[in-house]
């Protein structure tokens, strides 16, 4: 991996000075004051050509995933486990999941503790300082928890595509391009399908699909079940008299990762485009366009606080047009966006979002668990019974059981007295006496079943209270 920082370049000449020299020029120049790193600076073919290695191996092209966000769905959801919640004075809201596993002949305890900042899957988390965790008694808790865990997972991506012609070194020049050369059209076809925006049903990436305010067409594709919409600079609306082309910059400037397509050899400098969101660029320069031997040179640059992301560029960073480069390029783009989320700006934003969502999860688990026990306030919205009178699920079950038992007792009393005159069911006087006895026998069996059910339920409540007192987690 050729991985260089601004220390390797400062001081260095401006882009105008570089263009005044003999070519070839680098694909990317770092800004005068640094702040970015570059990957892929060697684009000289190996000599002799037959010693070249394949540009990339499929086994080394791997999409980054947030594995922690999927643990609960894979290991807990739909299986017997326990969920708890509590409040830590320093860490804030905590939600804890625990499950017993038997792997081979050994018993294991699988734990998952949700912080404001991250997940903890260790047996001992020294940062936690609470007296106890409270059990979650809400039947739909797993849905709420998995929704929280997976809020960081997205199957939709949007990337900018900027067309840079020879000698263009400013933002106004880049966003001012209106025509598309055959080489650029070929590259766009390589990226995806040209689609009509009007009434488009897939992921639209913020583009207008109703009124045509963001152009009439765009480039869209599906890569490994991930929908990708490209914001192509030349396809976004061009506004006469607007040197900044804000209609175009409004979309591309709000992307996180962008492709810069170079038809000829002109260096791209990351600070050419003023944006608070764009953190990474994949620069692609074409050779032998529209032939059977199309070659793409690639360099990558990103802000200093963006960690390196794979797959690594080969040395030299040259690719032949084909499915291997397609796989490599799209994997690089998606991994670049995931890496950018770790930059300071996006990390702080994600921390605030996660904190708010975790607080909401805590409150929903607490309110609904209290409602199940009949302890919620009148203002709580109870999903498990209680209505206007309150009482929750347990109290509602006891009321229902008492009403069933009272009805059964009424029938049993009539059966023993052999007197049915005070029971009116709309039967006529000719109704079979034997059939009535059979009916009462059925009611008697129902009474016995209800009594057994109440006994079992009461026992479960006592066991749960005992479990609550013995299984409270202490740190």
What are the pLDDT digits (tens) for 344-385? 999 999 889 999 999 999 999 999 998 887 766 544 444 444
C-beta of residue 311 within 8 angstroms of C-beta of residue 336: no
Q: pLDDT tens across 399-440, in order?
A: 555 555 565 555 556 555 555 444 444 444 454 556 666 666
Segment 21-26 mean pLDDT: 81
Q: Is pLDDT of 335 > 90? A: yes
Every domain of the chain and the residues it spans? 15-43+157-339, 67-152+346-373
Q: Is pLDDT of 274 > 70? A: yes
Nearest of 2, 18, 39, 22 to residue 306 by alpha carbon: 39
Q: Using N-to-C axis directions, what is the helix angle for 344-372 and 392-417, rounded to 10°? A: 20
pLDDT given for residue 475 in this prediction: 40
What is the CB neighbour count within 10 angstroms for residue 257? 27
Q: pLDDT tens across 319-329, in order?
A: 999 999 999 99
Nearest of 302, 418, 279 to residue 349 by alpha carbon: 279
Segment 336-349 mean pLDDT: 92
Distance of CA 1 to the CA centre of its chain: 30
pLDDT given for residue 129 in this prediction: 82
User: 15-43+157-339 falls under which CATH superfamily?
Assistant: Rap/Ran-GAP (3.40.50.11210)
CA distances from 211 to 200, 217, 415 (A): 12, 12, 75
Provide the whole-model pTM: 0.74
Instruction: Tell which CATH architecture fits domain 67-152+346-373.
Output: 2-Layer Sandwich (3.30)
In whole numbers, what is the pLDDT of the chain averaged over residues? Answer: 81
pLDDT category, 127, cuts 50, 70, 90?
A: confident
Between 201 and 129, the higher pLDDT residue: 201
C-beta of residue 332 within 8 angstroms of C-beta of residue 58: no
Distance CA 22, CA 303 (A): 29
C-beta of residue 472 within 8 angstroms of C-beta of residue 133: yes
pLDDT given for residue 56 in this prediction: 52
Q: Is pLDDT of 199 > 90? A: yes
Q: pLDDT tens across 91-125, in order?
A: 889 998 999 888 888 888 888 888 887 666 555 56
- Strand, coil or helix: 446: helix
Q: Is pLDDT of 389 > 60? A: no
């Amino acid at each position: 991996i050729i991985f260089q920082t601004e220390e390797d370049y400062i001081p260095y000449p401006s882009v105008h000075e570089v263009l005044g020299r003999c070519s070839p020029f680098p694909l990317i120049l770092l800004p005068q004051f640094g702040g970015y790193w570059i990957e892929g600076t060697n684009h000289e073919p190996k000599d002799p050509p037959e010693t070249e290695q394949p540009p990339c191996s499929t086994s080394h092209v791997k999409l980054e995933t947030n594995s922690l966000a999927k643990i609960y769905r894979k290991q807990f959801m739909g299986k017997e486990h326990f969920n708890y919640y509590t409040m830590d004075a320093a860490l804030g809201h905590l939600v804890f999941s625990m499950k017993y596993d038997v792997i081979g002949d050994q018993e294991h305890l699988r734990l998952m503790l949700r912080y404001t900042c991250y997940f903890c899957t260790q047996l001992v988390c020294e940062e936690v300082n609470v007296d106890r965790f409270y059990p979650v008694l809400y039947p739909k808790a797993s849905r709420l928890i998995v929704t929280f865990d997976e809020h960081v997972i997205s199957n939709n991506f949007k990337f900018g595509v900027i067309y840079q012609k020879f000698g263009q070194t400013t933002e106004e020049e880049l966003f001012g391009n209106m025509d598309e050369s055959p080489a650029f059209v070929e590259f766009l076809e390589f990226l995806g399908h040209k689609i009509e925006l009007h009434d488009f049903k897939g992921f639209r990436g913020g583009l207008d699909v109703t009124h045509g305010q963001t152009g009439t067409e765009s480039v869209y594709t599906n890569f490994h079940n991930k929908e990708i919409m490209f914001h192509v600079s030349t396809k976004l609306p061009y506004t006469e008299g607007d040197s900044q082309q804000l209609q175009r910059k409004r979309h591309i400037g709000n992307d996180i990762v962008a492709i810069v397509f170079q038809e000829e050899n002109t260096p791209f400098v990351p600070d050419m485009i003023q944006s608070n969101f764009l953190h990474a660029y994949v620069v692609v320069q074409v050779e032998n366009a529209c032939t059977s031997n199309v070659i793409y040179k690639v360099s990558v640059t990103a802000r200093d606080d963006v960690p390196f992301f794979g797959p690594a560029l080969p040395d030299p960073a040259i690719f032949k047009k084909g499915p291997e480069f397609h796989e490599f390029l799209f994997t690089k783009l998606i991994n670049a966006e995931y890496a950018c989320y770790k930059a300071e700006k996006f990390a702080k934003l994600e921390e605030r979002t996660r904190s708010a969502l975790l607080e909401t999860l805590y409150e929903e688990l607490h309110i609904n668990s209290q409602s199940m026990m009949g302890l919620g306030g009148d203002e709580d919205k109870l999903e498990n019974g209680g209505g206007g009178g309150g009482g929750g699920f347990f109290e509602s079950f006891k009321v229902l059981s008492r009403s069933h038992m009272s009805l059964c007792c009424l029938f049993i009393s009539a059966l023993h007295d052999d007197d049915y005159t005070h029971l009116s069911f709309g039967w006529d006087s000719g109704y079979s006496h034997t059939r009535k006895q059979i009916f009462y026998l059925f009611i008697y069996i129902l009474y016995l079943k209800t009594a057994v059910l109440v006994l079992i339920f009461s026992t479960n409540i006592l066991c749960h209270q005992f479990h609550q007192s013995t299984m409270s987690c202490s740190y």
